[in-house]
Amino acid sequence: MDQTSVDICVNTDGQEISRYDRLHFATIRIVHETLYGVFVNPYRLLTQAGLRRGQRVLEVGCGPGFFTIPAAKIAGETGRVIALDINPAAVEYVSRKIAGSGLANVETRLADATETRLVDESVDLAFLFGVMHSFKDVNKLLREMNRVLTPNGILSIQSRLPEKELLETVGATQLFKFREATKGVYVFEKKL
């Protein structure tokens, strides 16, 4: 990435990244790569979320990739992880992180999670860890997750929302049924 003092810089793919996106991402990266790892075991949370070997997985809001590499390792060679973020600085960073890891089962995508451009019913499990609060239209997000999930696909959410509010929000859409909650990870199954 060309680090200049102007408001816009360009990533390795020639895409512009604004100063806001770079600063926002830098803040998230510092927290995730220093403090977050002290308190959070990504493998434990992903296992609680229902992630298993061989699944096609969508990570919504990959940020600096705290969960990306562990998700790819759990999914294994027969699985696939799509790490999606709306911030081009995050996508650029995670793309480099993946290239350095030697993993071949991860794809990064710059996209809004309410319009992923993924094929219908192409994902076995989607996880939203710590990102749901950032969506203005949660119903639109949940409709998109329902569209991309396979029949009986899993939607796993870790959120700052109080449990009652989270269950009511997801339940109000009538798109998912609540399956279980384990230590802050809420697992829903797509209704048929």
pLDDT of 14: 53
- Segment among 25-29, 46-50, 91-95, 173-177 with least mean pLDDT: 25-29
Q: Is residue 14 part of a domain?
A: no
In a domain, 35, yes or no: no
Task: Tell me: pLDDT of 105 over 80.
Answer: yes
Cβ count within 10 A of residue 49: 26
**pLDDT range class, residue 21, cuts 50, 70, 90:** low
The label of the residue with tokens 């949660």 reads 138
- 10: tokens are 């360009």
> Count of domains in the chain?
1
Q: What global pTM score does this model have?
A: 0.84
Q: What is the pLDDT, as a whole number, of residue 166?
A: 94
Tell me, yes or no, whether 23 lies in a domain. no
CATH number assigned to the domain comprising residue 143: 3.40.50.150
- Domain containing 94 equals 42-190
In a domain, 182, yes or no: yes
CA distance 40 to 141: 25
Residue 24 belongs to a domain:
no
E-state strands within the chain: 8-10, 16-18, 56-60, 80-85, 106-110, 123-129, 149-158, 176-182, 185-190
Cα–Cα distance list, 134 to 81, 141, 161 (Å): 22, 11, 11
pLDDT band of residue 134 (cuts 50, 70, 90) is confident
Q: What is the pLDDT of residue 31?
A: 63
Residue 93: left if φ>0, alpha if ψ -120 to 50, beta else—which one?
A: alpha
Residue 8 in domain: no
